[in-house]
Structure 1
Amino acid sequence: MIFLTIGTQEPFDRLVRTVDAWCASSGRGGDLFGQITERATYKPNHFAWVPSVTPEDFQTRCKQADFIVSHAGMGSIITALTYGKPIVILPRSAKLKEHRNDHQQATAKRLGKRPGLLVAQSEAELPGLLDKLTAEKGATGGEALTPFADPSLIAALRTFIHAKPR
């Protein structure tokens, strides 16, 4: 199963339209389920979708997914990484009035080299990444995040806290 999520705040018609076109051309619409918000203008024709899901349903769908397709929202990214699921992100663009600024572009640039996180810089790149993950059945996932901080971070914090004031 492929899970598409665009977050809960704003529609992301460019992403939904691109995924819908990919489903139509690839015949993979039966493998995809999407959450696209109530305010979405574009309504997909080639995959099942709902305007919203409960937090519990979101977690369940992420756990069950072979991979996730999303905007570059931190909630979606962290959830995918927590479950060790590959995620393809298409960052929203302020220039296209999809968001108020380009923080999602910065997120994609900063995290884009992480194993299991694939970045489509444009909607033209997205179908190729979806084909790749579909062929691999999501096998490009990275290691699941642990619920604990990296030991080097903990050591640095301990050093900082126990340092004598100057």
Structure 2
Amino acid sequence: MIFVTVGTHEQPFNRLIMYVDNLKRAGVITEEVIMQTGFSTYEPKYCKWSKLLPYNDMVKNVANARIVITHGGPASFIMPLQIGKTPIVVPRQKVFDEHVNDHQVTFSKAVAESMGTIIPIIEIDDLQNIILDYDKIVADMPSGIKSNNDKFNIQLAEMVKEMF
């Protein structure tokens, strides 16, 4: 199962929701897809979805997912990391009116570069190949990443302090 979450930010993230829904429609994604669409205005036609989910349902979906795809909000990708998942992170971008600035792009790139614990996708068209090659990509990532939560949380807190 693939779980997609766009968080609770008030601007739609239709670009991600539509892209994954179209991959499901085209048969590129053959497994079940569950989406938390937030304030997106596009309603998926080929994936199961809910606008918002209780936190316990979010945790359950992340735990059951083979792949977790999130927006670039730290809360959305830290929880999968804590559960031992390597999330694909698609940051919201100002140019698409998905957020007020590009801090999610900057932050996602910084986390990927310094910690190597997430797979950032800046260009949405790269998402298809990452999904198709996900298991190999994760297997080729440096070992020990998923079991190093304390170190990750300390480094993440330091990065947040430096950015703000």
Structure 1 Cα separation of the partners of residues 106 and 15 of structure 2: 19
TM-score, length of structure 2 as denominator length: 0.80
User: After TM superposition, where is structure 1 displaced by more than 3 Å over at least 4 residues in a row?
Assistant: 113-116, 135-142
Deviation at 1:36, TM superposition (A): 0.2
Alignment match, 2:160: none
CA displacement at 1:132 relative to structure 2: 1.1
| Partner-residue secondary structure (3-state), 2:53 | coil
**Alignment-derived partner of residue 162 in structure 2:** none
State TM-score, norm by structure 1: 0.79
Root-mean-square deviation (Å): 2.4
- The structure-2 alpha-carbon separation of the partners of 1:50 and 1:73, relative to structure 1 and needing over 3 Å to count, comes to same
- Aligned partners of 2:66, 2:42: CA distance in 1, in Å? 25
Distance 1:65 1:107 in 2: 24
User: Cα offset for 1:7?
Assistant: 0.3
Tell me the CA shift for residue 87 of structure 1. Answer: 0.8
Query: Larger C-alpha radius of gyration, 1 or 2?
Result: 1
Q: Are 1:84 and 1:145, in contact at CA under 8 Å, matched by a contact in 2?
A: no
1:24 and 2:25 equivalent?
Answer: yes
Structure 2 residue 81 is matched with structure 1 residue 78? no
The AA in structure 2 aligned to 1:46 is Y
Matching residue of 1:112: 112
State whether residues 66 and 138 of structure 1, in contact with CA within 8 Å, keep that contact through their aligned partners in structure 2: no
C-alpha change, 1:140 and 1:81, in structure 2 (3 Å) is farther
* Residue 89 (str. 1) matches residue 94 (str. 2): no
Structure 2 counterpart of 1:143, one-letter code: K
Identity percentage of aligned residues: 26
Distance 1:140 1:50 in 2: 33
Aligned to 2:14: 13
What is the DSSP-based 3-state SS (H/G/I as helix, E as strand, rest coil) of the residue aligned with 1:62?
Answer: helix
DSSP-derived class of the 1:4 partner: strand
Contact 2:5 2:70 (8 Å CA) reproduced: yes
The one-letter amino acid paired with 1:24 is R
Shift of 1:144: 3.5
Aligned length: 149
Contact kept, 8 Å, 1:6 with 1:71, in 2: the verdict is: yes
Larger mean CA deviation between 7-16 and 22-31 belongs to: 22-31
1:26 Cα deviation from its structure 2 partner:
2.8
Q: Which has the higher helix share?
A: 2
Contact 2:111–2:117 (CA under 8 A) maintained in structure 1: no
Alignment of 1:11-160 (within 5 A): 11-28=12-29, 30-37=31-38, 39-113=39-113, 114-133=115-134, 136=136, 139=139, 142-146=145-149, 148=150
Question: Which string of whole-angstrom CA distances, capped at 9 and with x for unpartnered residues, describes residues 27-61 of structure 1?
Answer: 53542110002x32111111111111001111111
Gaps of 5+ in 1: 154-166
Q: How far is 1:139 from its partner?
A: 4.8
Question: What secondary structure, in the 3-state scheme, does the structure 1 residue paired with 2:94 have?
Answer: coil
